[in-house]
Amino acid sequence: MSVQTPSSPASNAGQPLAFVSAQALRERMHEAVNDTHLRQSFRGAMDFLMAKRAVQFPDPEELDSLRVLSEHIRQYSLSKLPDLLEQLETSLVRNGVQVHWAETPDEANAIMLEIARRHAAKLIVKGKSMVSEEIEFNHAMEAAGIGALESDMGEYIVQLAGEKPSHIIMPAIHQTKQQIAKLFAEHIPGVEYTDNVDALIQIGRRVLREKFEEADIGLSGVNFAVAETGTLCLVENEGNGRMCTTVPKVHIAITGIEKVVEKLEHVAPLFSILTRSATGQAVSTYFNMITGPRRSTDQDGPEEVHLVLLDNGRSQAYADEQLRKTLQCIRCGACMNHCPVYTRIGGHAYGTTYPGPIGKIISPHMMGLEQTHLLPTASSLCGACGEVCPVKIPIPELLIRLRGEAQSAPRADPAMVGQGAAYDPKISLLWKMWAGLYSRPSTYRAFSWLATRFRALTPARQRGWTAARTPLKPAPRRLRDMLKDRT
């Protein structure tokens, strides 16, 4: 299969972020499907999350009204995105926040490394941030000799195990409490094996509290950035987000450029639909609205606050009216909770930072289609993701669009990096012939007549199809012939 790379229209071409090669997707999926233990974990967890979400939306009318409003807010914000980003910057600077822009993961890491060096930082404690996973922040810091410690319980577990999160909201969903108990007993000095969940959480609390106290820098993500006030909003349950953004002397927030909204009031409906869609909670324990560093009269809080705005392929999605909808996402994870494919293979099989339906539509912009063209095909197009998405992203439509981008002949002015990556002239020719045969009655009639006569010649092995199914074979008689007999 020839792979041609069109010249890069955007910024991200040079830096594919393949944690695991996307080409190996099929093998990993096969392995995951055959791991009954893993399948049980995910099935149980997804059933639990789906049931909890359903309880939060007892009134279909209210849900519908809130979804329409949330979609509107996200689309409205995107329709003015460059203006809002500039307004956000102005407001943040006025509040004393330092704003940085990064086109690529490397640039973002370099910016943060520079800040860390300036403060001679030894330890960075991290609140949950998928963007920091996207740019492999921990590796970049460790390579420079700076510790980066996850403090969200799930992320902490995943980091101890040397793994990646398998879900964007519940990172350690693939681990059982027995596995976590073993992990703690092995890695934390003085800890005995216990699989009592409360005891495990108290161990994590004790270890991490020491780190909050001593860390030089706290890192966090951002759920919504408010342009008019220059406010960074954070949704969390554990209080580690508050610790990271309050206790260390420096707070660095990192976010994708799409997270901005214009008005403070716009966060109210988005926050409500986010927590209800994500974990089925009416509200999270904390909703943290940060408007600047410690002021002259304040007695605590960080002395410096930085915001890093990351592109990494988002502006490529923005350039196309249909693909732009990808950026409406508020990262609730509901699409993966309801995805029959995700439930069966889990988050790691995808090999990308963002797994599940959202991962399939956003990763191609971050990594290019050469590495990710199989992702949009790993879907039955059942439509569950689009149905639950709180901001009404038409995920199935976008999957079909991305398949088209990957399979079509390379074009001179492609909408995405890697367009045509899965183009196969032979297969394209076959489909063209098929279309030709089926679009004219005369050729269709001749073809179906021949097919019924020579049905014995159809091969018994038909690639992937016959791996789990009986071979396809034309019927002995055509429908039109059978109909003729009836009269």
Partner 1 sequence: MSARDKILGRLRAHMPAEAMMPPVLEAHYAPRARGESKAERLRRFRTGIEGFQAQVHLTTEDDWPTLLSALCAQKQVHTLMFGGLTPAGRRLMTTRFETTVLRSWEGQVETLKADLFHRVDAALTHARGAIAETGSLILWSSPEEPRTLSLVPPLHFVLLDAATIHPTFFDALRYENWAAGLPTNALLVSGPSKTADIQQTLAYGAHGPKELIVLVINAEGEAS
330 binds, among partner 1, ligand SF4, none (CB under 5 to 8 A by kind): ligand SF4
Select from 22, 131, 200, 225 the one that contacts partner 1 (CB under 8 A). Answer: 200
Give the count of beta carbons closer than 10 Å to the beta carbon of residue 480.
11
User: Is 314 strand, coil or helix?
Assistant: helix
According to CB under 8 A, which residues from 325 to 354 bind partner 1? none
> CA quadruple 381, 387, 388, 389: dihedral positive or negative?
positive
The whole-angstrom separation of Cα 181 and Cα 429 is 56
Classify the phi-psi angles of 413: left when phi > 0, otherwise alpha if psi is within -120 to 50, otherwise beta: beta
150 binds partner 1 (CB under 8 A): no
The whole-angstrom separation of Cα 291 and Cα 302 is 11
264 binds, among partner 1, ligand SF4, none (CB under 5 to 8 A by kind): partner 1
- State the helix-helix crossing angle for 177-187 and 197-214, rounded to 10 degrees: 40
Phi/psi for 291 (5° steps) reads -125, 70
335 binds, among ligand SF4, partner 1, none (CB under 5 to 8 A by kind): ligand SF4
176 binds partner 1 (CB under 8 A): yes
4 binds partner 1 (CB under 8 A): no
Q: Which is nearer to partner 1, 231 or 353 (CB)?
A: 231
Are the beta carbons of 408 and 420 closer than 8 angstroms? yes
How near is the Cβ of 418 to partner 1 at its closest, in Å?
A: 18
Amino acid present at 449: W
170 binds partner 1 (CB under 8 A): yes
Q: Which is nearer to ligand SF4, 227 or 358 (CB)?
A: 358
Select from 42, 57, 137, 212 the one that contacts partner 1 (CB under 8 A). Answer: 212
Closest CA to 22 of 470, 360, 341, 458: 360
User: Is 43 strand, coil or helix?
Assistant: helix
How near is the Cβ of 283 to partner 1 at its closest, in Å?
A: 4
The whole-angstrom separation of Cα 486 and Cα 317 is 55
How near is the Cβ of 131 to partner 1 at its closest, in Å?
A: 15
222 binds partner 1 (CB under 8 A): no
375 binds, among ligand SF4, partner 1, none (CB under 5 to 8 A by kind): none
97 binds partner 1 (CB under 8 A): no
Sheet holding 250-256, edge to edge: 98-102, 304-310, 250-256, 217-220, 123-126, 147-150
172 binds, among ligand SF4, partner 1, none (CB under 5 to 8 A by kind): partner 1
Judged by CB under 8 A, the stretch of 26-34, 288-296, 399-407, 425-433 that binds partner 1 is: 288-296
How near is the Cβ of 117 to partner 1 at its closest, in Å?
A: 19
137 binds, among ligand SF4, partner 1, none (CB under 5 to 8 A by kind): none
142 binds partner 1 (CB under 8 A): no
413 binds, among ligand SF4, partner 1, none (CB under 5 to 8 A by kind): none
Are the beta carbons of 21 and 351 closer than 8 angstroms? yes
Are the beta carbons of 346 and 368 closer than 8 angstroms? no
Are the beta carbons of 218 and 302 closer than 8 angstroms? yes
Q: Which is nearer to ligand SF4, 290 or 391 (CB)?
A: 391
Residues 11-40, mask of contacts with partner 1 (x by CB under 8 A): x-----------------------------
333 binds, among partner 1, ligand SF4, none (CB under 5 to 8 A by kind): ligand SF4
Are the beta carbons of 362 and 134 closer than 8 angstroms? no
How near is the Cβ of 100 to partner 1 at its closest, in Å?
A: 8
Place of tokens 């290019």: 368
Select from 105, 293, 396, 420 the one that contacts partner 1 (CB under 8 A). Answer: 293
Are the beta carbons of 45 and 376 closer than 8 angstroms? no
Are the beta carbons of 224 and 253 closer than 8 angstroms? no
Question: Which residues contribute to the site for ligand SF4 (CB under 6 A)?
Answer: 329-335, 357-358, 388-391, 393
264 binds partner 1 (CB under 8 A): yes
